[in-house]
Structure 1
Amino acid sequence: MKPLKPWLSFSDQLEQLRERGLQVEDRTAALGYLKRLGYYRLSGYWYPLRRIDEKASARENRPVRDDRFVPGMAHKDQETIAAIYGAPTGKAFAQWLRSLNFIRNVAAHHSRLWNINVVELSTIPEGWSKELKPSRPFFYFCLIQQLMRVICPNSSWGQRYKTLLTEAFPRLTSQQLSLKDMGVVEGWEDWPIWRGQ
Structure 2
Amino acid sequence: MPYNKPYLTIPQQRALLVSRGMSVPDPQKADEYLQRIGYYRLSAYWYPFRGLTQQADGTFKLGDNFKAGTEFKQATDLYAFDKSLRLLVLDAIERIEISVRTEVALAIGRHNPKAHRNPGSVDGKFKAVRPPNAISKYAEWLNKLDAKEASSKEEFANHFRAKYPGEKMPIWIAVELLDFGPLSIFLSGMRYPDLQRISNSYGLQQPHLVKSWIRSMSALRNVCAHHSRLWNKPLIDQPALPAKGAVPELDHLASAPGGNQRLYAALAVMKFLLKRVNPRTKWADRLKAHVSTFPNAPNIKLADAGFPVDWETLPLWS
Quick check: TM above 0.5?
Answer: yes
Match of residue 149 from structure 1: 275
Answering whether residue 170 of structure 2 is matched by residue 67 of structure 1, we say yes
Answering whether residue 155 of structure 2 is matched by residue 48 of structure 1, we say yes
Question: Which stretches in structure 1 are left out of the alignment for 5+ residues?
Answer: 1-32, 42-46
Match of 1:103 among 220, 227, 244: 220
RMSD: 3.0
Match of residue 160 from structure 1: 286
In the TM superposition, what are the counterparts of 1:11-90 in structure 2 within 5 Å?
Answer: 37-38=102-103, 40=105, 48-49=155-156, 51-52=159-160, 54=162, 56-57=164-165, 65-67=168-170, 72-90=189-207
Match of 2:300 among 168, 177, 196: 177
Answering whether residue 209 of structure 2 is matched by residue 92 of structure 1, we say yes
In structure 1, give the amino acid aligned to 2:264.
F
Q: Distance in 2 between matches of 1:186 and 1:164?
A: 16
Deviations 1:120-171 (A, max 9, x none): 12232333213221110111011111111111111111110011112x2112
Bigger proportion of residues as helix: 2
Structure whose CA Rg is larger = 2
CA contact (8 A) 2:196 2:207 kept: yes
Q: Distance in 2 between matches of 1:151 and 1:123?
A: 20
How far the C-alpha of 1:95 sits from its partner, in A, is: 0.8
Q: Aligned in 2, Cα 1:78/1:53: closer, same or farther, shift over 3 Å? A: closer
CA contact (8 A) 1:138 1:184 kept: yes
How far the C-alpha of 1:100 sits from its partner, in A, is: 1.1
Aligned length: 150
Question: Higher RCO, 1 or 2 (CA under 8 Å, sep at least 6)?
Answer: 2
Q: Distance in 2 between matches of 1:102 and 1:55?
A: 36
In the TM superposition, what are the counterparts of 1:103-122 in structure 2 within 5 Å?
Answer: 103-122=220-239
> Percent of aligned pairs with the same residue?
26
- Which moved further from structure 2: 113-122 or 73-82? 73-82
In structure 2, give the amino acid aligned to 1:189.
E
Q: Distance in 1 between matches of 2:278 and 2:301?
A: 30
Q: Aligned in 2, Cα 1:154/1:74: closer, same or farther, shift over 3 Å? A: same
In structure 2, give the amino acid aligned to 1:154.
R
CA contact (8 A) 1:37 1:151 kept: no
Q: Aligned in 2, Cα 1:56/1:143: closer, same or farther, shift over 3 Å? A: closer
Deviations 1:2-53 (A, max 9, x none): xxxxxxxxxxxxxxxxxxxxxxxxxxxxxxx989944839xxxxx6346447
Bigger proportion of residues as strand: 2
Describe the SS at the equivalent of 2:255: coil
Q: Distance in 2 between matches of 1:150 and 1:163?
A: 22
